[in-house]
A = this chain, B = another copy of it.
Amino acid sequence: MPRAGLTPTAVVERAEAVADRDGLEAVTLARLASEFGVRSPSLYKHVEGLDGVRRALAVRGLIEANARIQRATVGKTRDEALLALARAYWQFARDRPGLYAASLRAPTPRQNDVAAAGEALLGTVLSVVASYGVSGDDALHATRGLRAIIHGFVSLDAAGGFRLKLDLEESFRRLLSAFARDLAARGPPA
């Protein structure tokens, strides 16, 4: 019985591919094992069971989202940065639906790695908000609001919640611009 050359990252990367192609529910140890031509118990030598795979997916999803957002917003401020952030996150959800879904299923970030990845993402959002010149509690309330808006819109879209023909981009733009106006009003007068 030749070795399959499995590694933790190989398993998780395969899990990402399965999640993106066939949905997060399709990510099962049996499925992963079969894709590697291996029996499921063998996977336990590399990952901590199905929960371990899911946790790793969540972390990688958060990291990927953060990376995309940072790439998109670097050097930008205010409305330009806000729009870029929102678009980058939306695009992430569209490009990597399984990884995106996995990143949402990290309800109890007891695990340090999940918490760290989540906080990094939060920091990026906060810095965009801060570019409007708001600070302190204002900035924190605004960060919550921005997360809610983007998460709400993107997840409703991903779940097929918007069934009308009406232009989605336009809805998104309007929602963000209303938020941006409010944010600008809270910052310094100019």
Instruction: Evaluate contact between A151 and B152: CB separation under 8 angstroms.
Output: yes
| Interface residues of A, dominant DSSP | helix
Least CB distance, A156 to chain B, in whole angstroms: 6
Contact of A148 among B137, B153, B166, B181 (CB under 8 A): B153
- A40 on interface, CB distance cutoff 8 Å: no
Near B by CB (< 8 A), chain A positions 96-128 give 104, 107-108
- A141 on interface, CB distance cutoff 8 Å: yes
- A150 on interface, CB distance cutoff 8 Å: yes
Instruction: Evaluate contact between A166 and B144: CB separation under 8 angstroms.
Output: yes
- A160 on interface, CB distance cutoff 8 Å: yes
User: Complex formed: what's the CA distance from A162 to B151 in Å?
Assistant: 13
User: Complex formed: what's the CA distance from A104 to B104 in Å?
Assistant: 14
User: Can you list, as one digit per residue, whether each of A28-41 has a CB less than 8 Å from chain B (1) or not (0)?
Assistant: 00000000000000
- A26 on interface, CB distance cutoff 8 Å: no
- A155 on interface, CB distance cutoff 8 Å: yes
- A49 on interface, CB distance cutoff 8 Å: no
Least CB distance, A168 to chain B, in whole angstroms: 8
Least CB distance, A86 to chain B, in whole angstroms: 11
Q: Which of A2-10, A12-20, A65-73, A170-178 contacts B (4 or more CB under 8 A)?
A: A170-178
User: Complex formed: what's the CA distance from A174 to B178 in Å?
Assistant: 12
* Chain A contact residues, CB within 8 Å of chain B: 104, 107-108, 137, 140-142, 144-145, 147-153, 155-156, 159-162, 164, 166, 170-171, 174-175, 177-179, 181-182
Q: List 12 A-B contacts (CB under 8 A).
A: A107-B159, A140-B166, A145-B153, A145-B175, A145-B178, A147-B156, A147-B161, A148-B153, A151-B156, A152-B153, A181-B181, A181-B182
